[in-house]
């Protein structure tokens, strides 16, 4: 398993971690469905979701697999790189990159959320606390957004219902980032979430590009060696080395 380091600061949060990757050739897959039945107020609801097992043949010839929520359109025999994060000395897959289509596929929202927490080195307790602070932000912002048009109507001037709805929705987009200045300092991650996701995606794309360049150099070197070997076998000229192919004037020693 190869690795690469990520060291950045996004929205006041420090990212300092190693991510891991493994490449191989797509070796087929299998799409299956999960069915979940729930009953609410006497009504039965059936939810069906798809997931795909993606098989990859590594450079050692062995098959390894990852499971993705939903399906991925993967060409046959394409190069795939799987990215992992580390937690408690365990490698956990969270995304894979299909080189032919240049597409990054997340295995699922749960895995991706855990990967972002691992990048910030946040344990279970810190993650739960961060979710609590984010929830407090949204609840406070919603309450303030609902209260604002009523206060305007009560103390300033009359508003019709449509204007009140418009003011409330607009203020919600104001209060969430405003309150996050406080909740993020207390452990929330609202301001850091989007920049963190953009950083991690950029790092995976950059690593995939390095892998492709390395594969290209390896293929070029292999082709040059094969060409050199073929030339020597035929007694030709390779890089200035002359093979004796002209027998004119050749006299055996007596």
Mean pLDDT computed over 207-234: 69
Tell me what pLDDT residue 251 has. Answer: 43
Residue percentage of the chain with pLDDT more than 90: 33
8 A C-beta contact, residue 52 and residue 108: no
8 A C-beta contact, residue 46 and residue 36: yes
Tell me what pLDDT residue 207 has. Answer: 94
Mean pLDDT computed over 112-133: 84
Cα(176)–Cα(183) distance, integer angstroms: 10
How far is CA 101 from each of CA 54, 78, 80, 207, rounded to the nearest angstrom? Answer: 16, 9, 10, 16
Tell me what pLDDT residue 228 has. Answer: 56
- How close are the terminal C-alpha atoms of the chain, in Å? 62
Tell me what pLDDT residue 79 has. Answer: 94
Model confidence at 188, pLDDT cuts 50, 70, 90, reads confident
Residue ranges per structural domain of the chain = 2-120, 124-188
Say if residue 19's pLDDT is above 70. Answer: yes
Q: Which two tokens stand for residue 13?
A: 């949060």
Say if residue 4's pLDDT is above 80. Answer: yes
Tell me what pLDDT residue 232 has. Answer: 54
Tell me what pLDDT residue 223 has. Answer: 57
Q: What tens digit of pLDDT does each residue of 24-51 get? A: 999 998 988 888 888 777 788 888 889 9
Model confidence at 134, pLDDT cuts 50, 70, 90, reads confident
Mean pLDDT computed over 157-182: 83
Cα(250)–Cα(254) distance, integer angstroms: 12
Question: What radius of gyration, in Å, describes the C-alpha atoms of the chain?
Answer: 29
State the SS3 of 144-208.
HHHHHHHHHHHHCCCCCHHHHHHHHHHHHHHHHHHHHHHHCCCCCCHHHHHHHHHHHHHHHHHHH
Mean pLDDT computed over 227-240: 51
Say if residue 247's pLDDT is above 90. Answer: no
Residue percentage of the chain with pLDDT more than 70: 85
Nearest to 26 by CA among 83, 94, 72: 72
* Single pTM value for the model: 0.71
8 A C-beta contact, residue 105 and residue 73: no
């Amino acid at each position: 398993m190869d690795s690469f380091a990520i060291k950045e600061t996004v929205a006041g949060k420090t990212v300092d971690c190693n991510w891991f990757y493994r490449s191989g050739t797509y070796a087929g897959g299998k799409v299956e469905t999960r069915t979940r039945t729930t009953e609410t107020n006497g009504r039965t609801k059936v939810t069906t979701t798809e997931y795909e097992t993606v098989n990859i043949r590594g450079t050692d010839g062995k098959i390894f697999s990852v499971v993705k929520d939903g399906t991925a359109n993967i060409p046959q025999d394409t190069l795939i790189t799987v990215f992992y994060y580390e937690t408690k000395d365990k490698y956990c897959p969270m995304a894979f990159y299909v080189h032919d289509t240049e597409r990054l596929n997340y295995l699922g929202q749960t895995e991706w959320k855990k990967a972002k927490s691992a990048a910030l080195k946040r344990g279970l307790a810190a993650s739960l606390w961060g979710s609590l602070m984010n929830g407090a932000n949204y609840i406070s912002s919603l309450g303030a957004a609902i209260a604002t048009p009523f206060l305007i109507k009560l103390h300033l001037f009359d508003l019709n219902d449509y204007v009140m709805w418009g003011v409330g929705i607009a203020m919600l987009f104001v209060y969430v980032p405003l309150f996050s200045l406080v909740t993020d300092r207390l452990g929330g991650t609202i301001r850091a979430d989007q920049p963190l996701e953009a950083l991690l995606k950029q790092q995976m794309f950059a690593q995939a590009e390095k892998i492709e360049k390395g594969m290209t150099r390896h293929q070029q070197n292999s082709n040059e060696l094969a060409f050199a070997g073929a030339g020597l076998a035929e007694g030709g000229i390779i890089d200035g080395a002359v093979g004796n192919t002209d027998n004119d004037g050749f006299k055996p020693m007596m």
